[in-house]
Structure 1
Amino acid sequence: MTQAFGARLHDAMAAHGPLCVGIDPHRGLVESWGLSYDVAGLERFALTCVEAFAGRVAAVKPQSAFFEVFGSRGLAVLERVLTDLHEAGTLTILDAKRGDIGSTMGAYAEAYLGPDAVAPPDALTVSPYLGYESLRPAIDLAEQTGRGLFVLALTSNPEGATVQHAVRDGRSVAASVVEGAAADNAPARGRTELGSIGLVIGATVGRAVQDLGLDLVSAATPVLAPGFGAQGGTVDSLASTFGAARGQVLAASSREILAAGPDPSRLVARTVEVAEALRPA
């Protein structure tokens, strides 16, 4: 990559609006499109999404699990999705939430971010709950290859608070993750582009960002905010949740947009409508 992921994300958000569309081919959604829940149906679903989203949004986020369920044939479809979107010039964020330690984390990093990766995304979601520094192999490799990470920080599922809101030495676990990303993004601070180590913070976490004292503004840290649309996130809630950091937020929507399928023209229309709704914010 000739340009860091954060800079490319900044440009994509400026060009297309701060929207990331998910490709989540779970059984109910695939079948609601009138497709069979098998590899053929998966491929038809996924490639229809590529046709509709490529060149129209800042980023596309395939959920790896819904491809992995079909084994190697499903992974082949995922690789094609990532490759086709790359060739169309659309950023990809692979939602795989990998996290481990030592050489195992290093192997995950090579698989998704390395120079020899088969179909590498532009960014990968990762879990820091073995300690933020356990992600160091992926952080370092992402920097070397011009790719990015989105680190789970504050999720909207009820179970997440038991870990993420826990306090040690006067700060929450979520705050320690935010601080780790901020330190890794320090070289980008003061410039116009974003850093390449982002955070995952749910669009529906409400006041948790403020209540936990998370400083998202002082660092050039991008935020991926899943839950926009069908899960309750709105333009107004994004503004109230993220405040002055709103300009760093890439809202992620899946079901609200995918429900417009299988007609590609309806998918395109819904995608453009949501992207434009987000742009003024």
Structure 2
Amino acid sequence: MSIESFGSRLRRAMDSRGPLCVGIDPHASLLDSWGLPDTVEGLERFSRTVVEALGETVAVFKPQAAFFERFGSKGVAVLETTVAEARAAGALVCMDAKRGDIGSTMAAYAEAFLRKDSPLFSDALTVSPYLGYGSLKPAVDLARENGAGLFVLALTSNPEGGEVQHAVRADGRNVGATMLGHLAAENAGESPLGSFGAVVGATLGDLSSYDLDINGPLLAPGIGAQGATPADLPSVFGAAVRNVVPNVSRGVLRHGPSVEALRSSAARFADEVRSAVAGA
């Protein structure tokens, strides 16, 4: 029996649940604002509350691995539970780990997050291509084998990213555009959506000089606390806006620990994104 691709599952989830990804970013200040201690117990309470509130309605969760890893093995155990409970509730999970290495090390990273029997198996993984796009091959291959996906850092919104991503190659294309080209090739012929996406910041303004039509998803951080709004998406992403997966973290999470407030905030963002996309 063939495995349904991540791109296909993501398209269905966004169409049925709304085009929104909610980050699970339990940093110390957010735990404090919820009245929780900066401990494993606080981490577990925070993560369970987010999944309880949104697991049956949000399309994608994006847990930030670093905020769990900082507690060592007990924090990773909480991350394993969070991933399992989110997926059991019907949400897709994109692990935000930004892994990037070469050879057997890249293969080991891929096995940690993209192998079906791994306790951290996720529907997708963020990866860094800046040891060369070809270094991601172990992750690309394992993602294909297991019906998972990747989100490759391409045009990030942090100011420091420009010195790498905007660097111009000998062929006249910059590095960010080159990454988009690689992803378009990975997704060629896939329907309804390829499984290999790019991370493209929603705060970057007009990106019409880039070919964002990679037949794959565009994970777009920057909505909410970082200043971008759902209404900005069409002007940033143009014709590719329907494939955008807007990521909101603090914009939703600051409404906790109230389950109802978390649900209301996420639903509002999803409705605003739907309206923006429909009007594009």
The reply to whether TM is greater than 0.5 is yes
- Report the counterpart of residue 138 of structure 2 in structure 1: 137
- Report the counterpart of residue 194 of structure 2 in structure 1: 195
- Shift, 1:60, TM fit: 0.5
- Report the counterpart of residue 166 of structure 1 in structure 2: 167
Contact 1:154 1:174 in 2 (8 A): yes
- Report the counterpart of residue 265 of structure 1 in structure 2: 260
Post-superposition Cα deviations, 1:127-177, rounded to whole Å, max 9, x if no partner, equal 000011110000011000000000000011111001000001200000110
- Shift, 1:115, TM fit: 2.8
1:103 equivalenced with 2:127 (yes/no): no
For residues 210-221 of structure 1, what are the structure 2 equivalents within 5 Å?
A: 210=208, 213-217=209-213, 219-221=214-216
- Shift, 1:277, TM fit: 1.1
Contact 2:26 2:43 in 1 (8 A): yes
Counterpart AA for 1:12 = A
Q: Distance in 1 between matches of 2:203 and 2:232?
A: 7
Contact 2:151 2:197 in 1 (8 A): yes
- Report the counterpart of residue 220 of structure 2 in structure 1: 225
1:148 equivalenced with 2:149 (yes/no): yes
1:32 equivalenced with 2:33 (yes/no): yes
SS state at 1:168 partner: coil
Post-superposition Cα deviations, 1:172-228, rounded to whole Å, max 9, x if no partner, equal 00011001111111131xx3x110001000110112x22xx32122x3111000011
Q: Distance in 2 between matches of 1:136 and 1:242?
A: 27
Q: Distance in 1 between matches of 2:6 and 2:59?
A: 12
Contact 1:199 1:224 in 2 (8 A): yes
Aligned CA RMSD, in angstroms, stands at 1.0
- Report the counterpart of residue 204 of structure 2 in structure 1: 205
- Shift, 1:2, TM fit: 2.7
- Report the counterpart of residue 184 of structure 1 in structure 2: 186
Post-superposition Cα deviations, 1:5-64, rounded to whole Å, max 9, x if no partner, equal 000000001011110000100000001100111000000001000001102111010000
Q: Distance in 2 between matches of 1:86 and 1:157?
A: 30
1:235 equivalenced with 2:236 (yes/no): no
Contact 1:152 1:201 in 2 (8 A): yes
Contact 1:18 1:58 in 2 (8 A): yes
1:274 equivalenced with 2:269 (yes/no): yes
- Number of residue-to-residue matches in the alignment: 274
- Report the counterpart of residue 175 of structure 1 in structure 2: 177
Structure 1 runs of 4+ aligned residues shifted over 3 Å read none
Counterpart AA for 2:93 = T
Post-superposition Cα deviations, 1:202-261, rounded to whole Å, max 9, x if no partner, equal 110112x22xx32122x3111000011111111222111100000010000000100100
Gaps of 5+ in 1: none
SS state at 1:95 partner: strand
